Amino acid sequence: MERVTPLIEARGLAIGHGGRALITGIDLALSPGRVLCLLGPNGAGKTTLFRTLLGLIPPVHGHVALSGQPLAGLSRARIARHIAHVPQSLATPFAFAARDIVLMGAAARLGPFARPGPAEAAQAMAALTRLGIADLADVHVTRLSGGQRQLVLIARALAQDAATIIMDEPTASLDFANRITVNEAIRNLAQAGTAVILSTHDPDQAATLGHDAILLNRGGIVASGPVREVLTAENLSVLYGIPVQRDERPDGRLHFY
């Protein structure tokens, strides 16, 4: 069978700062429609891994490729064509309308002096519509709920038209209803063929959304592979340093406590 080129791939990756490795031996390969979940305590290296995959900091060792192209040889504009980023929260000093925030994603693919035009405006509205929040286009982000802001950030990533989206704890500060809304948006993205990497502190969320998981602890990888094989009570107990129980419900869903 012919090997499909992953949208994002890392082999023998060591990440860290100033040439000093924080975690070594990271291998991952993500194909369209797959969701990879990163779990680990604060300070374990999840953000450093994201910054490395986004090309914001160089790897200490190893190789990262986007659709088969070495990351190190790509410009910021080329990287933006491959991968988008959804941060934990939306922080802006100005009361931009939701449409303007999303338009920034569409403009990420333009040259440094180009201005977004009708095509980019249409992309922005299409992204808002796809997530069911077109009615929020002219609402200032300062007036949106936490869940609505997170959906705007996801829409911005969609407007960027990248095949892969990295999400940094996308539901960390949301209430129950908004978590359900954002989780459903992530599930729909994957079903439409977008590859997603997300970090989370919630094993239940990883079991619900993820196809694969990597458990990162300070200094190393506890486990990696298919979600149901990685998210064991033993692995999670080691990861978080507390006893963790795993329960499989009649419908096959996993629950951890």
Structural domain spans, the chain = 8-256
Side-chain half-sphere CA neighbours of 106 within 13 A: 22
Residue 107, amino acid: A
From the list 55, 135, 149, the residue with the least C-alpha distance to 101 is 149
CA atoms of 179 and 130, how far apart (whole Å):
18
What pLDDT, on a 0 to 100 scale, did the predictor assign at position 184? Answer: 93
How does pLDDT run across 70-79, given as a tens digit for each residue? 999 999 889 9
What pLDDT, on a 0 to 100 scale, did the predictor assign at position 2? Answer: 60
What pLDDT, on a 0 to 100 scale, did the predictor assign at position 95? Answer: 80
The dihedrals phi and psi of 205, each to the nearest 5 degrees, come to -65, -45
What pLDDT, on a 0 to 100 scale, did the predictor assign at position 113? Answer: 66
From the list 191, 210, 193, 158, the residue with the least C-alpha distance to 32 is 193
From the list 145, 167, 171, the residue with the least C-alpha distance to 158 is 167
What pLDDT, on a 0 to 100 scale, did the predictor assign at position 178? Answer: 84
CB 21 within 8 A of CB 211: no
- Map tokens 């502190």 to a residue: 201
217 in the Ramachandran plot: left (φ > 0), alpha (ψ -120 to 50) or beta? beta
CA atoms of 185 and 211, how far apart (whole Å):
16
Residue 147, amino acid: G
Alpha-helical segments (H) within 73-230: 76-82, 98-107, 118-130, 146-159, 176-191, 203-209, 227-230
CATH code given to domain 8-256: 3.40.50.300
Collect the ranges in the chain with pLDDT lower than 70: 1-3, 93, 111-113
User: DSSP code of 140?
Assistant: B
What pLDDT, on a 0 to 100 scale, did the predictor assign at position 1? Answer: 55
From the list 151, 216, 215, 212, the residue with the least C-alpha distance to 186 is 151
C-beta atoms surrounding 17 within 10 Å: 11
CB 199 within 8 A of CB 168: yes
What pLDDT, on a 0 to 100 scale, did the predictor assign at position 89? Answer: 80
CA atoms of 88 and 201, how far apart (whole Å):
13
C-alpha distances out from residue 80 to 11, 24, 109, 174, 216, Å = 21, 26, 6, 27, 26
